[in-house]
Amino acid sequence: MGELTKRMSTPTLLFAYVTLLLAALGVLTLYSETRRRRFRPAANEDRIFRCAKCGLVYTDDPDVDRSRCSQCGKLNEAFEF
């Protein structure tokens, strides 16, 4: 019965403990990353405009080259970053 009750050595036990903790941390990281990506808002394709007269920043459809400001009515070019 002496051979059936083998003990793990201390370095093996520590290695197993650290490996299990790192694996659990990796799984939690992957889970949180997939949740974050799933609930992230989709990128907006609208163009950004800034009125040269009143300074209003607004968006319009991506196929519009010039857009009229809703606040003062001035026609503006798309704003490029």
Q: What is the pLDDT of residues 21-67, one digit of tens each?
A: 999 999 999 999 998 888 777 777 889 999 999 999 999 998 888 99
Residues 33 and 51 in one domain: no
Which pLDDT score is estimated for 7? Answer: 80
Strands 57-60 and 75-77, by their bridges, are unpaired
Q: What is the pTM of this model?
A: 0.47
User: What's the token pair of residue 18?
Assistant: 């650290």
Structural domains counted in the chain: 2
Which pLDDT score is estimated for 72? Answer: 92
Residue 29 lies in a domain: yes
Whether the pLDDT of residue 4 is over 50: the answer is: no
**Distance between first and last Cα of the chain:** 76
Residues 36 and 52 in one domain: no
CB 49 within 8 A of CB 81: no
Which pLDDT score is estimated for 1? Answer: 45
- CA-closest candidate to residue 64, choices 54, 75, 55, 53: 75
Handedness of CA 18, 21, 24, 29 (dihedral sign): negative
